Amino acid sequence: MAPMTEQTFDPVIENAAARGRIILVCEHASCAIPDRWGDLGLSADQRRAHIAWDPGALGLARGLSQRLEAVLIHAPVSRLVYDCNRAPDMPGAMPLRSEVHDIPGNAALSAAERLSRTETVYLPFHNALHGLICRQIARGVRPVVVTIHSFTPVYFGKPRRVEFGVIHDADPAYAQAIVTAARKTTRLITELNAPYSAADDVTHTLRVIATPYGLPNAMLEVRNDLIATPEAEVAMAEILAPVLNMGLVEIQRQAKAG
Amino acid sequence: MAPMTEQTFDPVIENAAARGRIILVCEHASCAIPDRWGDLGLSADQRRAHIAWDPGALGLARGLSQRLEAVLIHAPVSRLVYDCNRAPDMPGAMPLRSEVHDIPGNAALSAAERLSRTETVYLPFHNALHGLICRQIARGVRPVVVTIHSFTPVYFGKPRRVEFGVIHDADPAYAQAIVTAARKTTRLITELNAPYSAADDVTHTLRVIATPYGLPNAMLEVRNDLIATPEAEVAMAEILAPVLNMGLVEIQRQAKAG
């Protein structure tokens, strides 16, 4: 077991006093690599590329947090150190390779190193998120979990046409309602379960924290060229905040009807 | 939010260095009611009855822990304060009534009190269990989660014939293998999903900690008159340890074959 005194990289919680139903989660908010992991053998360009984080996702999440009165939790460390949206035994948790890039600093990780990253990055993130969820539940609120991601416009050389993807895990209701609202009220090219889906093991956070408590949930994916500047992040938050609210109204209507 | 300085009632972890695949969980190990909750308005007899804990379960779990080289985690507080096998919004988490008994100390709980019990009992328990699970996964082990319970021989005046119940959540494989092994090698009256089942919302721990990680799991229920003395607890551990091991061999065989 890792010594309990090892420095942890705790998630950041913003807008903690917010009283909206939605809890926003941003696992890939940061490309920071703490000193103890050096540069993971990557160039400066690689360490700023989409393999290291979801560019624009944190800015978008902050814009949504303000507009929805939603608490926001985000990880402070690059997903190349530990991807908080992956279980410790998934290949993507501490990836050897991401898209076309080898990650030299993740080659041949010892069990002790995998354990240390799990202890210092993954567990603090999920324990804090678990706390946020359960505190709302204990107060009598049924929170709605929304994870905020961005994806690269070109993947393995292939352009992606979709602009806004909404992914669900076991319960599709909220994701479907968001897609319907986005198609009705925005010009975004919107798809359900694109550019990937739960079958690609990308919904770990939803599986761990939303499904067991029966909470409505969705994973949002925005193409990162659409949120490439602070102004674009704000503009996208302005578009998506009402979409998330419309989806919420719809699932509340369904819950009453059902 | 409850002050972070509030005293927590952390779970006890025994046999922490054990290297077996099984992690034993005992949510109802204790009938202790910490001073801040007084006697919850109950008589001394009620506070020792099955409504307050699972008599014999901790002794059985300790016997299994030794025989299976399994880490054991158990809650230090009565389930009448907080039932760690229930989500914070389930009626059974801080029950108003249990079988034929009203629980006066749980009448008209404020949101602040529900929150405080969630913060001081439930979250420490599940965060510690989550840590145990993820540390094993990070090391490359796929742990198997087994929760240990006992049930009353007479419930609402009706005798229960079953002696050993094995309950599953989403993945039935290990529970079925245990039932098969118990029927083959013991004289216990053994039933799958008895005296109740996941449909009765009794599998919260399995749902939160085993299902999202795809871990084999089972909930064991032993009729408490069969483990009413320290000697009987040991004798039952001696019977059930090989049964759990046979079940493990069977699911490992299935995993290889599949």
A 45-74: CB under 8 A from B: none
Tell me what pLDDT residue A68 has.
98
Dump pLDDT digits (tens) for A15-68.
999 989 999 999 999 999 999 999 999 999 999 999 999 999 999 999 999 999
Cα separation, B135 vs B143, whole angstroms: 10
Cα separation, A158 vs A192, whole angstroms: 19
Tell me what pLDDT residue B1 has.
44
Q: How confident is the model at residue A6 (pLDDT cuts 50, 70, 90)?
A: confident
Task: State the count of interchain CB pairs (< 8 A) between A and B.
Answer: 88
Contact A138 B207 (CB under 8 A): no
Mean pLDDT of A71-81: 98
pLDDT at B2 over 70: no
% pLDDT > 70, chain A: 98
pLDDT at A2 over 80: no
Chain A: residue whose CA lies nearest to B128:
A127
Cα separation, A141 vs A135, whole angstroms: 9
Mean pLDDT of B244-255: 96
Cβ of residue B199 closer than 8 Å to a chain A Cβ: no
Average pLDDT, chain B: 95
Cβ of residue B21 closer than 8 Å to a chain A Cβ: no
Residue B70: which of B26, B27, B22 has the closest Cα?
B22
Contact A130 B131 (CB under 8 A): no
CA distance B231 to chain A (A): 34
Selecting from A117, A127, A138 the residue whose C-beta is nearest the C-beta of B88 gives A138
Cβ of residue B130 closer than 8 Å to a chain A Cβ: yes
Contact B135 A142 (CB under 8 A): no
pLDDT at B156 over 90: no
Collapsed DSSP state (helix, strand, coil) of residue B98: strand
Cβ of residue B4 closer than 8 Å to a chain A Cβ: no
Query: Do A42 and A101 touch, CB atoms closer than 8 A?
Result: yes
Mean pLDDT of B104-119: 95
Contact B139 A16 (CB under 8 A): no
Residue range B12-257 in CATH 3.40.190.10: no
In chain B, residues with a C-beta closer than 8 Å to the C-beta of A211 are 212
CA distance A62 to chain B (A): 22
Collapsed DSSP state (helix, strand, coil) of residue B76: coil
Dump pLDDT digits (tens) for A177-223.
999 999 999 999 999 999 999 988 899 999 999 999 999 999 999 99
pTM of the predicted model as reported, rounded to 2 decimal places = 0.93
Backbone angles phi and psi of B109, in degrees to 5: -65, 135
Tell me what pLDDT residue A4 has.
54
Selecting from B89, B122, B211 the residue whose C-beta is nearest the C-beta of A212 gives B211
Each domain of chain A, given as residue ranges in start order, spans 12-257
B 89-108: CB under 8 A from A: 89
Dump pLDDT digits (tens) for A156-170.
889 999 999 999 999
Tell me what pLDDT residue A99 has.
83
Contact A130 B127 (CB under 8 A): yes
Tell me what pLDDT residue A69 has.
97
pLDDT at B4 over 60: no
In chain B, residues with a C-beta closer than 8 Å to the C-beta of A137 are 87-89, 118
The total number of residues shown for chain A amounts to 258
What is the ipTM for the molecules in this complex?
0.90
Dump pLDDT digits (tens) for A87-144.
999 999 999 998 889 999 999 899 999 999 999 999 999 999 999 999 999 989 999 9
Q: How confident is the model at residue A1 (pLDDT cuts 50, 70, 90)?
A: very low
In chain B, residues with a C-beta closer than 8 Å to the C-beta of A18 are none
Query: Do B241 and B67 touch, CB atoms closer than 8 A?
Result: yes
pLDDT at B122 over 70: yes
Chain A: residue whose CA lies nearest to B4:
A131
Cβ of residue A212 closer than 8 Å to a chain B Cβ: yes
Mean pLDDT of A239-252: 97
Query: Do A241 and A146 touch, CB atoms closer than 8 A?
Result: no
Tell me what pLDDT residue A253 has.
95
In chain A, residues with a C-beta closer than 8 Å to the C-beta of B118 are 134-135, 137-138
- pLDDT higher for B19 or A176? A176
Contact A115 B135 (CB under 8 A): yes
In chain B, residues with a C-beta closer than 8 Å to the C-beta of A213 are 87, 208
H-helix or E-strand containing B129?
Answer: helix B123-138
Dump pLDDT digits (tens) for B223-245.
999 999 999 999 999 999 999 99
